[in-house]
A and B are shown apart, each in its own frame.
Chain A
Amino acid sequence: MPDPARAFLLQDRRGAPVVAVTALNKTYASGLTALKNIELTIHHGEIFALLGPNGAGKTTLINIICGIVNATSGRVLADGHDIVRDYRAARSKIGLVPQELHTDAFESVWATVTFSRGLFGKPPDAAHCERVLRELSLWDRRDARIMTLSGGMKRRVMIAKALAHEPRILFLDEPTAGVDVELRRDMWQLVRRLRDSGVTIILTTHYIEEAEEMADRIGVIHKGQLIVVEEKGLLMRKLGKRQLILHLQQPLTVLPPGLSEHPLELSDDGHTLVFTFDANRRETGIPGLLRRLSELNIDVKDLHSSESSLEDIFVGLVSERA
């Protein structure tokens, strides 16, 4: 689905958030404060990527929403249900694929998937379980013991277990950690299909380029605080930098004083000038720079522009708060 159409759909679905986190705090018994006053709203049918360095609080936040860790204070609603008072309704809507490969080594794939469905209060449905296993290319291995599967296949089993009870909200905590390229591509295709079927996906990943490609919105968590939550496109426009790279005919030894009013950097070899500008402003300053270069008889043999990746923005956000 093209981005503008998705953006419209998301806008349309904003009526009732599927996950609403209010004033959430978590301090462990050890005294470690993992989350500080988290406010977060996840919309129906979106892919929300939660980014943050190791130990930032991503998994703690997911574990609280899923009921695995108790919050110190605050409130979480899942599909309108309080996760503490109305935990049955809330949890039945949620599927979780944890970061670690926690599996029942001696069970068969089929047994563990049907077990998960029952555990989440759903009556047996062999057709659904078969569909999930086929979708994840596990059907041929349904009778295999989990201990005999490769790491990638075990990761698929974890996803199959999480999908066995037809959740409306799916948490994927580092789902592609340690899996090969092909499987990673398969997984993201599955995520897109799930999103298109109306499942809300909340994922954490270390592969920021994947978040950039997949997510509708991005949240960045750092030292227990949610420092940014934004539409991906908007975030990149707001926080992203654009640069004009000018390759010079003749190298410069130093930046001429006549160019000091422009935000320019000269490369070490003197062959390249890098001009950083704000693409959102009406006046980028590029025409003025080019005129000035001409006046100073600095010939340009080639030029091109570039923009920040999500990774650049993420690193910038985290490092400025380090």
Chain B
Amino acid sequence: MNLHAVRAIYRFEMARTFRTLMQSIASPVLSTSLYFVVFGAAIGRRMGALDGVSYGAFIVPGLIMLSILNESVSNASFAIYLPKWSGTIFELLSAPVSYAEALLGYVGAAATKSVMLGILILVTARVFVAYEILHPMWMAAFLILTAVSFSLFGFIIGLWAESFEQLQVVPLMILTPLTFLGGAFYSIGMLPPIWQKITLFNPVVYLISGFRWSFFGTSDVNVGTSAAATLGFLALCIAVVSWMFRTGYKLKS
């Protein structure tokens, strides 16, 4: 295994994060804090508890997921799209690097950034609301699994995209609506019965539900189903990205 290459890619990507701290870390933390101020502190005070959890605390897992999904996709897609756009991808393609090693470097760095961000938001949330984490190991597992899965998803988008506009289409037009409608700010039990059923087709519901269960022990869907859905999404992303690399999709002519 070319560990030097994995380390080089990983360090290169992490260096980019630290070079753009405002954009990579400070900006998502600030926008999530605003959510806490508006929904948690201001509106949340007028709302009753959901499944025995105050509204301010209830939205913590959802907001962390919202940030992690967006940041994972954005970091990983940008990481691979930028070399494609600038032409520096030639170096990766001509290097003695396997696809798995390239993935490990790029996706590893994108997932690391997302996990760092998730932890930062978790700590920030403590300033606004009181919460406890009932199953910390499961919380960490869901956090890492989601960061890795969506970094892979972002990598796929980065490989597929042929313009900066396409790079933004999936996160803005699909991912953000799915996250907002996936129970980030509410329990799906609050929806009319028909919408409760329709919502179950939204994969983000399972991520948020499982993650929220690790905090409060209550969930919209069975936690086993949530874990299986997350693992299934991870497997699907691995399969797609493997096919893309094997065929040289939009990488090699």
Question: Residue A190 at the B interface, CB < 8 A?
Answer: no
Residue pair A119, B15 in contact (C-beta under 8 Å): no
Which B97-128 residues sit within 8 Å CB-CB of chain A? Answer: 97-98
Residue pair B90, A88 in contact (C-beta under 8 Å): no
Residue pair B96, A68 in contact (C-beta under 8 Å): no
Question: Residue B135 at the A interface, CB < 8 A?
Answer: no
Residue pair B253, A29 in contact (C-beta under 8 Å): yes
Residue pair A106, B4 in contact (C-beta under 8 Å): no
Residue pair A105, B86 in contact (C-beta under 8 Å): yes
Output the least CB separation between A100 and chain B (Å).
6
Contact of B96 among A91, A111, A161 (CB under 8 A): A91
Residue pair B94, A67 in contact (C-beta under 8 Å): yes
Docked complex Cα distance between A119 and B98 (Å): 11
With a CB–CB cut-off of 8 A, which chain B residues contact A88?
A: 2, 96, 98
With a CB–CB cut-off of 8 A, which chain B residues contact A91?
A: 94-96
Question: Residue A92 at the B interface, CB < 8 A?
Answer: yes
Q: Count of A residues near B, CB < 8 Å?
A: 35
With a CB–CB cut-off of 8 A, which chain B residues contact A68?
A: 90, 93-94, 252
Docked complex Cα distance between A161 and B91 (Å): 9
Residue pair B4, A123 in contact (C-beta under 8 Å): yes
Closest residue of chain A to B88, judged by CB?
A102
Which A72-131 residues sit within 8 Å CB-CB of chain B? Answer: 87-92, 94, 96, 98, 100, 102-107, 111, 114-123
Which A230-266 residues sit within 8 Å CB-CB of chain B? Answer: none
Task: Decide yes or no: A118 and B5 within 8 Å by CB, A66-B94, A91-B95 being known contacts.
Answer: yes
Residue pair B8, A102 in contact (C-beta under 8 Å): no
Output the least CB separation between B87 and chain A (Å).
3
Question: Residue B92 at the A interface, CB < 8 A?
Answer: yes
With a CB–CB cut-off of 8 A, which chain B residues contact A92?
A: 96
Residue pair A102, B87 in contact (C-beta under 8 Å): yes
Output the least CB separation between A284 and chain B (Å).
50
Question: Residue A207 at the B interface, CB < 8 A?
Answer: no
Closest residue of chain B to A122, judged by CB?
B4
Output the least CB separation between B97 and chain A (Å).
7
Closest residue of chain A to B98, judged by CB?
A88
Residue pair A69, B86 in contact (C-beta under 8 Å): no
Residue pair A119, B95 in contact (C-beta under 8 Å): yes
Which B147-182 residues sit within 8 Å CB-CB of chain A? Answer: none
Output the least CB separation between B11 and chain A (Å).
8
Residue pair B96, A104 in contact (C-beta under 8 Å): no
Which B35-62 residues sit within 8 Å CB-CB of chain A? Answer: none
Residue pair B253, A119 in contact (C-beta under 8 Å): no
* Most A CB within 10 A of own CB, among B5, B19, B98: B5
Docked complex Cα distance between A28 and B92 (Å): 21
Q: Count of B residues near A, CB < 8 Å?
A: 26
Residue pair B12, A121 in contact (C-beta under 8 Å): no
Residue pair B86, A102 in contact (C-beta under 8 Å): yes
Contact of A69 among B12, B15, B95, B252 (CB under 8 A): B252
Residue pair B248, A70 in contact (C-beta under 8 Å): yes
Docked complex Cα distance between A88 and B8 (Å): 16
Docked complex Cα distance between A98 and B87 (Å): 10
With a CB–CB cut-off of 8 A, which chain B residues contact A119?
A: 4-5, 8-9, 91-92, 95, 97
Output the least CB separation between B69 and chain A (Å).
26
Output the least CB separation between B34 and chain A (Å).
29
Docked complex Cα distance between A121 and B95 (Å): 8
Output the least CB separation between B88 and chain A (Å).
5
Output the least CB separation between B217 and chain A (Å).
45
With a CB–CB cut-off of 8 A, which chain B residues contact A100?
A: 87
With a CB–CB cut-off of 8 A, which chain A residues contact B11?
A: 115, 118
Contact of A111 among B15, B90, B94 (CB under 8 A): B15
Closest residue of chain B to A124, judged by CB?
B4
Residue pair A115, B12 in contact (C-beta under 8 Å): yes
Residue interface bits B52-91, CB-to-A below 8 A is 1, else 0:
0000000000000000000000000000000000111011
Docked complex Cα distance between A234 and B94 (Å): 34
Output the least CB separation between B29 and chain A (Å).
23
Docked complex Cα distance between A234 and B57 (Å): 83
Docked complex Cα distance between A104 and B8 (Å): 14
Which B233-253 residues sit within 8 Å CB-CB of chain A? Answer: 248, 252-253
Jot down 13 A-B pairs with beta carbons below 8 A, ordered by A: A68-B93, A70-B248, A91-B96, A100-B87, A104-B86, A115-B12, A119-B8, A119-B91, A120-B4, A121-B5, A121-B95, A121-B97, A161-B91
- Other than A116-B91, A119-B5, A121-B95, give 7 A-B pairs with Cβ distance below 8 A: A68-B93, A68-B94, A70-B253, A88-B2, A91-B94, A107-B12, A161-B91
| 6 nearest A-B pairs in the assembled complex, by CB-CB distance | A118-B8, A102-B87, A88-B96, A91-B96, A66-B94, A119-B95
